[in-house]
Amino acid sequence: MKSDVADCGCLLDSSATEAASALPLYPLRPAQVEQFRPGSPEAGFLARMGFSAGAGQLVIGPDPETGLFAALGLGADSSPFAYGGLARGLPEGTVWRFAGPPPDPAAAIFGFAAGAYHYGKFMKETRRPVRLVLPTRVPPFVLAQIAATWMVRDLINAPANLLGPAELAEAISKIGNRFGATVSCVRGPELSERYPAIAAVGAGSARAPQAVQLAWRGSGAAEEAPLVAVCGKGVCFDSGGLDVKPSAAMLKMKKDMGGAAVALGLARLIMQADLPIRLSLRIGAVENSISGSAMRPLDVIRTRHGLAVEVGNTDAEGRLVLADLLAEAAAENPALLLDFATLTGAARSALGPDLPALFCTDDAWAERLLKAGGEVHDPLWRLPLWDGYADWLTSPIADLNTVSSKPHAGAIVAALFLRRFVAAATPWAHVDLYAWNDESRPGRPQGGEAQAMRAAFAAIARRFTAG
Full set of structural domains in the chain with CATH: 2-137 (3.40.220.10), 144-464 (3.40.630.10)
Give yes or no for residue 303 having a pLDDT over 60: yes
DSSP state of 182: E
Confidence of residue 466 (pLDDT cuts 50, 70, 90): low
Residues 303, 256, 181, 459: is their CA dihedral positive or negative? negative
254 an active-site residue? no
Active-site entry in 37, 88, 245, 371: 245
Q: Name, of 11-25, 87-101, 340-354, the range with top average pLDDT.
A: 340-354
Flag the least confident range among 86-100, 116-130, 420-434: 116-130
| Pairwise CA distance, residues 304 & 326, whole Å | 9
C-alpha to C-alpha distance for 69 and 59, rounded to whole angstroms: 8
Question: What are the percentages of helix, strand and coil residues in the chain, rounded to 5?
Answer: 35, 20, 40
- Spatial distance between the Cα atoms of 327 and 161, rounded to a whole number of angstroms: 30
Q: pLDDT band for position 464 (50/70/90)?
A: very high
Q: CB–CB of 395/310 below 8 Å? A: yes
Mean pLDDT of 9-17: 78
pLDDT for the residue numbered 1: 41
Active-site pick, 319, 368, 419, 463? 319
* Mean pLDDT, rounded, for 210-227: 97
pLDDT value at residue 467: 45
pTM summary value? 0.96
Q: Render 454-466 in DSSP notation, one character per residue.
A: HHHHHHHHHHHS-
Phi first, then psi: give them for residue 292, nearest 5 degrees: -70, -15
For CA atoms 217, 222, 223, 226, give the dihedral sign: negative
C-alpha 98/C-alpha 118 separation (Å) is 23
Q: What per-residue confidence (pLDDT) applies to 136?
A: 79
CA-wise closest residue to 413 among 431, 390, 380, 433 = 390
Query: Is 128 an active-site residue?
Result: no
At residue 309's C-alpha, the angle toward residues 303 and 314, to 5°, is 105
What's the pLDDT score for residue 121? 87
